[in-house]
C-alpha cells in the first residue's frame, strides 16, 4: 500500500489550517494511489491536489 510523502503531509497540514482559518468546511481528504496525489475537497467548489513533491494545484470550476 502506497503512502503520501512527507512533503504531502506537510502541505496537507498547511492547507487544512489555511482552509479552516477561512471557515471553509473540508469535505474530503484522500490519497489517490493511482497517481500518488493527495486530494482535498473544501467549501462550495474548491478542489486542491497535492503532487508528490508537495506542489499544489487549485481547481475552482
> Which pLDDT tens digits describe the chain residue by residue (61 residues)?
899 999 999 999 999 999 999 999 999 999 999 999 999 999 999 999 999 999 999 997 7
Q: Is residue 1 included in any domain, yes or no? A: no
- Residue 58: per-residue pLDDT: 94
Q: Cα dihedral sign for 28, 34, 35, 36? A: positive
- Grid cell at residue 40: 482535498
- Residue 60: per-residue pLDDT: 79
Q: Which domain holds residue 31?
A: 6-59
Q: Is residue 52 included in any domain, yes or no? A: yes
Q: Is residue 37 included in any domain, yes or no? A: yes
Amino acid at each position: 500500500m502506497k503512502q503520501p510523502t512527507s512533503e504531502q503531509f506537510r502541505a496537507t497540514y498547511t492547507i487544512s489550517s489555511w482552509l479552516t482559518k477561512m471557515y471553509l468546511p473540508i469535505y474530503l481528504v484522500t490519497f489517490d494511489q493511482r497517481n500518488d496525489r493527495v486530494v482535498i475537497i473544501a467549501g462550495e467548489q474548491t478542489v486542491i491536489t497535492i503532487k508528490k513533491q508537495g506542489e499544489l494545484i487549485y481547481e475552482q470550476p
